[in-house]
Amino acid sequence: MENLLWSIALPGFGQILNRKYVKGLFFILLEFVVNVKSNFNEVILLSFHGDIQSAIEKTDYQWLLFYPCLYLFAAWDAYRDSGAGEGKRFSYLPFITAAYCVTVGLIYSTKVKVFGVLLGPVWLPMLGCLVGVLAGLCLRRVLLMMGQR
């Protein structure tokens, strides 16, 4: 679990803890490139300050759309390599469904309002992550129950 949490902090850290140094450095480099090219740190700052329109304008969506899959694949990889998911069938599902929902949230982040509020390229995808993880956990449970029959 520690490796997963470190990977959530920064993709690649979990791999380094798992002694997968080349893979870890690759994820760190890839995260850095996507982060810089998409202006993601500035977008996060603007979003946290409530300036959603500026965050939307500053976002390079062509680059930021890579981030959800990179981020959640690195998290799943750290989780899997740590042995935490070993023997747990379908343990990848919450990561995949979260990556999908975050990506969809990012795609619609310039248009979709929640309770009349435009959430933008940080908050709507984060909401999508929560929905995706929960959907993946539910789907995993259903598949496991079906497999017991």
Q: pLDDT of 79-127, one tens digit each?
A: 998 888 777 899 999 999 999 999 999 999 999 999 999 999 999 999 9
Q: Looking at the 3D structure of the chain, how many domains does it have?
A: 1
Phi/psi-derived region of residue 59, left when phi > 0, alpha when psi is between -120 and 50, beta in every other case: beta
- 36 or 5, which is more confident? 36
- Domain boundaries, position 9: 2-148
Q: Model pTM? A: 0.91
pLDDT, residue 73, reads 96
Q: Percentage of residues in the chain with pLDDT exceeding 90?
A: 85
